A and B are shown apart, each in its own frame.
Chain A
Amino acid sequence: MSLKNFSELFVNLDSNNSTNNKIEVLKNYFLSNDPKDNSWAIYLLTGKSNKRFISGRYLKNLFSQIYEYPEWLIDTCYLKVGDSAEVITLLLKNKSTSRKKKLSNISLNELLSKTIPDLSKLNEEEKNFKIKNMWETLPEDNHLIFNKILTGTFRIGVSIGLITKSISKLINIDEEIISHRLMGNFEPSIDSYEFLINKNINLKDLNSKPFPFLLANTIENKIFKHSINDFQFEWKYDGIRMQLIKRSGNVSLWTRGQELVNESFPELVAKMSHIKDDFVLDGELLVWNFKEQIAFDFSLLQKRINRKSPTKSIQLKYPIIFIAYDLLEINGRDIREIKLENRRIELEKYFSKWQNKTENNISDIFKICDLIFPKDWPDALTYKEKSRENNTEGLIIKKKTSIYSSGRKKGTWWKYKVDPMQLDAVLIYAKGGRGRRAGLYTDYSFALWKDQELIKFASAYSGLTNIEIKELDKWIRKNTIEKFGPVRSIKPEMVFEISFEKIQISKRHKSGIAVRFPRITKWRKDKKINDADSLENAYELMKKIS
Chain B
Amino acid sequence: MRTKQEDLIRYKDGNLYCELADIWIDPSKPVKRALITHAHFDHFTFGCEEYLSTKETAMLLKERVGDNLNIKTFDYGEEFKINGINISFHPSGHILGSSQIRFIFAEEKWLISGDFKLQRDETCKEYEIVKTDYLISECTFGLPIFKWDESNKIANDISKWITNSPEKTSLLFCYSLGKAQRLLNEISQTNFKGNIYSHGSIHKMNNSYRKLGINIIDTIKIENKNKIDELKGSLILLPPSLSKGSYLKNFKNIQTAFASGWMSIRALRKRSGYDMGFPISDHADWDGILEVVKKSEAKNVFFHHGDSEALSKFLVEKESINVLFFGK
Q: Using a CB–CB distance below 8 Å, which chain A residues touch chain B?
A: 14-17, 21, 69-70, 72-73, 76-77, 80-83, 86-87, 90-91, 93-94, 452-454, 481, 491
**Pick from A14, A73, A77, A454: contact of B271, CB under 8 Å:** A454
CA distance A457 to B267 in the complex (A): 18
CB-based contact B267/A16 at 8 Å: no
Answer whether residue B328 sits at the interface, using C-beta atoms and an 8 A cutoff: no
CB-based contact B275/A15 at 8 Å: yes
CB-based contact B318/A76 at 8 Å: no
**Size category, B interface:** 20 to 34
CB distance from A28 to the nearest CB of B (A): 11
In the complex, the chain B residue whose C-beta lies closest to that of A78 is: B145
Given A21-B165, A83-B266, A454-B271, decide whether A70 and B314 contact each other with a Cβ distance below 8 A.
Answer: yes
Q: Which residues of B contact A82 (CB under 8 A)?
A: 267
CB-based contact B145/A17 at 8 Å: no
CB-based contact B145/A81 at 8 Å: yes
Q: Which of B135-150 contact A (CB under 8 A)?
A: 143-147
Answer whether residue B286 sits at the interface, using C-beta atoms and an 8 A cutoff: yes
**Pick from B144, B265, B274, B287: contact of A73, CB under 8 Å:** B144
**Pick from A76, A94, A481: contact of B147, CB under 8 Å:** A94
CB distance from A22 to the nearest CB of B (A): 11
CB-based contact B145/A16 at 8 Å: no
Closest 8 CB pairs of A and B: A90-B145, A16-B275, A93-B147, A76-B310, A15-B276, A77-B145, A94-B147, A82-B267
* Residue-wise interface mask of B (247-285) relative to A, using a CB-CB cutoff of 8 A (1 in contact, 0 not): 000000001000000001111001101111000000000
**Pick from A21, A80, A452: contact of B145, CB under 8 Å:** A80
Q: Which of B215-268 contact A (CB under 8 A)?
A: 255, 264-267
CA distance A90 to B266 in the complex (A): 10
CB-based contact A453/B271 at 8 Å: yes
Answer whether residue B317 sits at the interface, using C-beta atoms and an 8 A cutoff: yes
**Beyond the given A69-B144, A94-B286, could you list 6 further A-B residue pairs with CB under 8 A, ordered by the A residue number?**
A17-B275, A70-B314, A70-B318, A73-B144, A80-B265, A452-B270
Answer whether residue B211 sits at the interface, using C-beta atoms and an 8 A cutoff: no
Q: Which residues of A contact B145 (CB under 8 A)?
A: 77, 80-81, 87, 90-91
CB-based contact B286/A73 at 8 Å: no
CB distance from B210 to the nearest CB of A (A): 34
CB-based contact A90/B165 at 8 Å: no
CB-based contact A73/B314 at 8 Å: yes
CB distance from A5 to the nearest CB of B (A): 15
Pairs A–B under 8 Å by Cβ, sample size 26: A14-B266, A16-B274, A17-B255, A17-B275, A21-B165, A70-B314, A70-B317, A73-B144, A73-B313, A76-B143, A77-B143, A77-B144, A80-B145, A80-B265, A81-B145, A82-B267, A83-B267, A86-B265, A87-B145, A91-B145, A94-B144, A94-B147, A94-B287, A453-B271, A453-B273, A454-B271
CB distance from B315 to the nearest CB of A (A): 11
CB distance from B114 to the nearest CB of A (A): 24
Q: Which residues of A contact B310 (CB under 8 A)?
A: 72-73, 76-77
CA distance A83 to B146 in the complex (A): 15
Answer whether residue B67 sits at the interface, using C-beta atoms and an 8 A cutoff: no
CA distance A86 to B266 in the complex (A): 8
Answer whether residue B79 sits at the interface, using C-beta atoms and an 8 A cutoff: no
CA distance A93 to B264 in the complex (A): 11
CB-based contact A453/B267 at 8 Å: no
In the complex, the chain A residue whose C-beta lies closest to that of B275 is: A16
Answer whether residue B309 sits at the interface, using C-beta atoms and an 8 A cutoff: yes
In the complex, the chain B residue whose C-beta lies closest to that of A12 is: B164
CA distance A90 to B267 in the complex (A): 13
CA distance A91 to B147 in the complex (A): 8
Most chain A beta-carbon contacts within 10 A, residue among B144, B270, B318 = B144
CA distance A419 to B137 in the complex (A): 57
CB distance from A298 to the nearest CB of B (A): 31
Q: Which residues of A contact B147 (CB under 8 A)?
A: 90, 93-94
CB distance from A67 to the nearest CB of B (A): 10
CA distance A94 to B314 in the complex (A): 15
CB distance from A455 to the nearest CB of B (A): 8
Q: Which residues of A contact B309 (CB under 8 A)?
A: 76
Given A15-B275, A17-B275, decide whether A91 and B144 contact each other with a Cβ distance below 8 A.
Answer: yes
CA distance A288 to B242 in the complex (A): 56
CA distance A369 to B270 in the complex (A): 44
CA distance A86 to B267 in the complex (A): 10
CB distance from B119 to the nearest CB of A (A): 14
